[in-house]
Amino acid sequence: MSSRLKVAYQGERGAYSEQAAWSLFGKDIEVEPCPTFDAVFSAVEDGACDRGVVPVENSLAGSIHRNYDLLLRHDLHIVGECNLRISHCLIAHPGVRLAEIRRVYSHPQALAQCEQSLRELGEVEVIATYDTAGSVRLIKERGLDHAAAIAGEGAAALYGMAILRREFEDETINYTRFVGLGREPVTPEGESKTSLAFAGKNEPGLLFRCLSAFALRNIDLTKIESRPIRGVPWEYVFYLDFLGSVTEQRCDRALEQLREMAIFVRVFGSYPRARPAWVASDVVEHQP
> Rounded to an integer, what distance in angstroms lies between the CA atom of residue 259 and that of residue 129?
41
Report helix, strand and coil shares of the chain as percent, to nearest 5. 30, 30, 40
Q: Is residue 69 part of a domain?
A: yes
Question: Do 11 and 82 have their domain in common?
Answer: yes
Q: pLDDT (tens digit, 9 = 90+) per residue, 204-243?
A: 889 999 999 999 999 999 999 999 988 788 889 999 999 9
Local structure of 197: helix, strand or coil: strand
Q: Is residue 284 part of a domain?
A: no
How far, CA to CA in Å, does 76 sit from each of 81, 125, 141, 156, 164? 14, 39, 36, 33, 40
Q: Is residue 288 part of a domain?
A: no
pLDDT score of 287? 46
Question: Do 256 and 156 have their domain in common?
Answer: no
pLDDT score of 189? 87
Number of domains in the chain: 3
Whether the CB-CB separation of 271 and 192 falls below 8 Å is answered with yes
Give me the active site residues, please.
Answer: 176, 178
Structural domain boundaries enclosing 240: 192-272
Question: Do 161 and 94 have their domain in common?
Answer: yes
Sign of CA dihedral 15, 19, 25, 27: positive
The CA-to-CA distance between both ends of the chain, in Å, stands at 55
Question: Do 258 and 130 have their domain in common?
Answer: no
Q: pLDDT (tens digit, 9 = 90+) per residue, 75-111?
A: 999 999 999 999 999 999 999 999 999 999 999 989 9
Local structure of 232: helix, strand or coil: coil
Q: Is residue 278 part of a domain?
A: no
Instruction: Name the percent of the chain lying above pLDDT 70.
Output: 95
Local structure of 248: helix, strand or coil: coil
Q: Is residue 147 part of a domain?
A: yes
Last residue of a domain, one of 153, 182, 211: 182
Q: Is residue 10 part of a domain?
A: yes
List all residues 6 or more positions away from 8 whose beta carbon is below 8 Å from its beta carbon: 31, 32, 34, 39, 40, 43, 44, 48, 49, 51, 52, 53
User: What is the dihedral angle through the alpha carbons of 78, 82, 88, 89, rounded to the nearest 10 degrees?
Assistant: -100
| Amino acid (1-letter code) at residue 200 | G
Question: Do 76 and 178 have their domain in common?
Answer: yes
- Give the CATH number, domain containing residue 44: 3.40.190.10
Question: Do 74 and 93 have their domain in common?
Answer: no
Question: Do 59 and 98 have their domain in common?
Answer: no
> Rounded to an integer, what distance in angstroms lies between the CA atom of residue 84 and that of residue 20?
7
- Give the CATH number, domain containing residue 235: 3.30.70.260
Question: Do 245 and 207 have their domain in common?
Answer: yes
Question: Do 64 and 178 have their domain in common?
Answer: yes
pLDDT score of 273? 96
Question: Do 34 and 137 have their domain in common?
Answer: no
Sign of CA dihedral 168, 16, 274, 240: positive
Q: Is residue 286 part of a domain?
A: no
Whether the CB-CB separation of 35 and 57 falls below 8 Å is answered with no
Question: Do 66 and 130 have their domain in common?
Answer: no
Question: Do 178 and 35 have their domain in common?
Answer: yes
